[in-house]
Amino acid sequence: MSTHTNGSPPGFRATWAEVDLDRIASNFAALRALAGREAVVFPVVKANAYGHGALPVARRLTTEGAVGLCVATPEEGLELRRGGIPIPILCLGAVEPLQITAAARSQITLTLYSPHQVRLFEEAGRASGVPVRFHLKIETGMNRLGVLPEELGPLLDELRGCRSSLLSGVYSNLASADRPGEASNAEQGARLTEAAAAVRAAGHDPRPMHLANSAGLLYHPALRFDAVRPGLLLYGIRPGSGDSGPGFAPALTLKTTVLRVKSVPAGAPVGYSAAWRAPRESRLATLAIGYDDGIPRAAGGKAEVLVGGRRAPLVGNVSMDLCVCDITDCGDVAPGAEAVIIGSQGQETIGAAELAERAGTIPWEILCGIGRRVPRVHVAGGATVSIASALPAVKDVAPVPEKEPPKRRNYNHDATPEAAAPKPADEQPEPHPEPREA
């Protein structure tokens, strides 16, 4: 678990994620060791590198010698290209017809997952003069994207006449890789192998051929083929068990701050709907983090956070921007104290997998759910190297000149005196719906 603490980044609300890039690098090295000589590692940096910050992570992986990266959308690929990432990028998800040319010009390899795309790729390649490179995705058992076995023959026939689109890999995705004993894993491998043979017979080179995600790499050595696409394990979380396992360590710590401390009598309610009442005289700490920031609403009343080096239960419903924990047994805690949602404090550790389990979800969703208003502080060699934020820091801002307030004018009919008069009951607007929580 990352231990670096620098306090919150200046100019931001005191809720932030620390991402230890050295951990990303050591996890990547462990992945390469696991994959061995035969399979190359294409780390998955989609969804903002699972909430860790796509560009800083991709830059570090490039420095560490990564030979390719996977994203989910052309936009994610372009973000990396604009950030100067030079290595191959494979887009695993869908591409819109209007995106094909720009993606190809940006050297983003696309996925062909449906026969109708052959014509679109070929036309885009011919019109732009830039060949559209793609990996062919085979349906082997997920029934999401992917070319069905019966579609493959006609598709390969159609590709025979194509000069402006280039098949440069074949792949599929494991459905149950985290269940090592599950027979469907080997069956998916066999279906992909069969499809790759057909591709080869049609005169294409189906390499690299790839199937395994993190769990595939860990639990199914026979399915590593030419390349593996680990995501979760790159970020230091082992699928299935949730702990890191040898060689891997979580790279992200999610921290926030105690805003208020209150002593309340037994029976005092907390939060929306008064979902929790103090069973005894209690001390409560209000934290500067809510479900928009990545602590799931479902964690209320179930998960714990770390305050003063101890576990403090989350009480009441988590709100959009705030939540409350019970610090009665946490010793002296004052406003401004650091609270850890994911990570370590003192001897205690709460991993993304634990938070996920308490909230009834999976660690992937916890990491991807860390909101846009949480700045990511990237740390390497024990020092902050960058701060990535979708929102601006609120500091050193030039004064905004005061403007004369605009003269009151009637901009619409509703502002006329007639419109302001009470309306008959059947013209009244709908009553406001139930108030929503925030």
Ligand X SMILES: Cc1ncc(COP(=O)(O)O)c(C=O)c1O
E strand or H helix at 79: helix 74-82
- Omega prior to 335 cis, within 30 of 0: no
CA distance 341 to 351: 8
Min separation Cβ 149 and ligand X, Å = 19
Strand partners, 339: 256, 307
Residues 143-182 close enough to bind ligand X by CB under 6 A: 173
Q: Does 239 bind ligand X (CB under 6 A)?
A: yes
Min separation Cβ 122 and ligand X, Å = 24
Closest CB to ligand X among 239 and 316? Answer: 239
| Stretch of residues binding ligand X (CB under 6 A), selected from 232-240, 275-283, 301-309, 373-381 | 232-240
| CA triple 395-393-52, angle to 5 deg | 150
* Exposure string over 279-304, b if 16+ CB within 10 A, otherwise e: eeebbbbbbbbbbbbbbbeebbbebb
Q: Does 32 bind ligand X (CB under 6 A)?
A: no
- 411 catalytic? Reply is no
Q: Pick the closest to residue 360 from 402, 319, 302 (CA basis).
A: 302
Say if residues 167 and 159 touch (Cβ distance below 8 Å).
Answer: yes
Closest CB to ligand X among 138 and 303? Answer: 138
Closest CB to ligand X among 146 and 371? Answer: 146
Say if residues 1 and 250 touch (Cβ distance below 8 Å).
Answer: yes
| Stretch of residues binding ligand X (CB under 6 A), selected from 188-196, 211-219, 298-306, 371-379 | 211-219
What are the tokens at 436? 């929503």
Min separation Cβ 35 and ligand X, Å = 12
Q: Does 213 bind ligand X (CB under 6 A)?
A: yes
Residues 73-102 close enough to bind ligand X by CB under 6 A: 92
Min separation Cβ 239 and ligand X, Å = 5
Q: Does 117 bind ligand X (CB under 6 A)?
A: no
Give the CB-side neighbour count of residue 61, counting CA atoms within 13 A: 35
Options 46, 113, 137, 291, the catalytic residue = 46
| Stretch of residues binding ligand X (CB under 6 A), selected from 98-106, 224-232, 263-271, 310-318 | 224-232
- 50 catalytic? Reply is no
Min separation Cβ 261 and ligand X, Å = 38
Q: Pick the closest to residue 222 from 256, 253, 183 (CA basis).
A: 183
CA distance 330 to 97: 56
Min separation Cβ 71 and ligand X, Å = 10
Q: What 3-state DSSP class applies to 426?
A: helix
Angle, helices 117-128/149-160, rounded to nearest 10 degrees: 30
Say if residues 289 and 322 touch (Cβ distance below 8 Å).
Answer: yes
Min separation Cβ 368 and ligand X, Å = 10
Tell me how many residues contact ligand X (CB under 6 A): 12
Residue type, 351: G
Closest CB to ligand X among 244 and 286? Answer: 244
| Stretch of residues binding ligand X (CB under 6 A), selected from 58-66, 128-136, 207-215, 255-263 | 207-215
Q: Does 34 bind ligand X (CB under 6 A)?
A: no
Candidate residues 48, 99, 165, 214; the one interacting with ligand X per rule CB under 6 A = 214
CA distance 229 to 251: 18
Q: Does 44 bind ligand X (CB under 6 A)?
A: yes
Q: Pick the closest to residue 293 from 283, 305, 277 (CA basis).
A: 305
Say if residues 193 and 201 touch (Cβ distance below 8 Å).
Answer: no
Min separation Cβ 47 and ligand X, Å = 8
| Stretch of residues binding ligand X (CB under 6 A), selected from 225-233, 305-313, 319-327, 347-355 | 225-233
What are the tokens at 429? 């607007």
Closest CB to ligand X among 167 and 315? Answer: 167
Candidate residues 43, 51, 146, 230; the one interacting with ligand X per rule CB under 6 A = 230
Min separation Cβ 236 and ligand X, Å = 12
Candidate residues 74, 131, 146, 231; the one interacting with ligand X per rule CB under 6 A = 231
Options 113, 235, 255, 272, the catalytic residue = 272
DSSP codes, 343-378: EEETTEEE-HHHHHHHHTS-HHHHHHTS-TTS-EEE
Residue keyed to tokens 């190809």: 104
Q: Does 229 bind ligand X (CB under 6 A)?
A: yes
Closest CB to ligand X among 229 and 255? Answer: 229
| Stretch of residues binding ligand X (CB under 6 A), selected from 117-125, 223-231, 247-255, 339-347 | 223-231
The binding site for ligand X (CB under 6 A) comprises 44, 92, 173, 213-215, 229-233, 239
Looking at the annotation, which residues are catalytic? 46, 272
